[in-house]
Chains A and B, each alone.
Chain A
């Protein structure tokens, strides 16, 4: 499954993104598993809200961090997340 740019992205049902105080990080939770996320992965997953498409995600994060040129990194991460079945897309 690879990224379709004109479809919104959201977490697969049953997956949950959660801030963990004890570990000082976001984790992605799913049946019998968890993934400890670095900051950039967590930032991207937080805006995979079922409404945002690729361009919205890039724009949101570039605005938030007052920077440009994030698109390639974001695409790479989204492809990994799609491949692993953490997120999915809908028209």
Chain B
């Protein structure tokens, strides 16, 4: 299927997933369920080539992510190189195993910003969700990040088991000196999709949480910016996925697969190209995967005739695939989708799920079973 023939806009955002390795086991991880199969990581020189070629094309925001990027021994070297290329460098980390020496070393290499995640506002729940004792250390790390002058985003993924802590989470963010707080309702890809019944909050929980978020957005105005990411399952209209497919975002997976969105590895018949075989320019401009959902030639009804098609681009293709089996269908979170019942059914099914049902944690042992 051909996309629009118009030359694509250049990538602005590069997400460098340096590794799938992670010392934590969060059951909502967006990495693929079978990540353990992709252990052949790009080496330092391959990453440098990706960074240079992407920068030459126009990428300027760079996220080092994973897995846990601190696991990579060449992280400081890659930050240093990226800084030299003129990227705005973001480290997206759990903070696990971070120490003051590393924070200083990264600062000297030119790291611009650190996003640290916490799993909850209490030690017990944080350590349960993370699958590792980490709460107290994360708080120490957050304070060190601020001590060394970084802007800091504190990220907390919200779900049924921690969303009641909203007020405490925000108080914790204030105490830790966060500049930005990202309260991200779980999006159901990868491990989160697998654990959806146990993670999906109720409408009532969401209403309470959103009211608290709004209250703090008002009271923290000018001090701490609070982003509350509304869960699309409850929204009725889909998110404008990736700001439009192949328009802005480029993700490179640990093994060098180039993805238009970090969930796209799972899409069948996409032939996502590898940076081991192609240049970034070939991948961005010419590959089947990146052209697939450009423009609107690919759209079916009800998207094709929808007045909002230039606003939400039909929503999230990975979600359409996961729920309907066809990535070119309208994202079923849209209440105009003929398959919207899949979303309302999922909400009902989650609400009926016993709290006794165990979460499947993200680790290599579990990954090998998929």
Contact = CB atoms under 8 A, between A and B. Distances in A.
Contact of B88 (A1, A13, A16): A16
A31 B115 contact: yes
A18 B10 CA distance: 17
Interface string A20-56: 1011000101111110000000000000000000000
Interface of B is mostly: mixed
A36 to B, nearest CB: 8
B90 A31 contact: yes
Interface in B25-41: none
Given A29-B88, A31-B90, A32-B63, A13 B58 contact: no
A27 B60 contact: yes
Given A16-B88, A85-B222, A85-B225, A31 B60 contact: no
A29 B115 CA distance: 15
Contact of A31 (B12, B56, B57, B179): B179
B61 interface: yes
B179 A32 contact: no
Q: How large is the interface on A (under 10, 10 to 19, 20 to 34, 35 or more residues)?
A: 10 to 19
Contacts of B86: 18
B8 interface: no
A34 B225 contact: no
Contacts of B149: 13
Contacts of B222: 1, 85
A69 interface: no
A32 B90 contact: yes
B255 interface: no
Interface of B: 10, 12-13, 56-58, 60-61, 63, 86, 88, 90, 112-113, 115, 149-153, 179-180, 222, 225
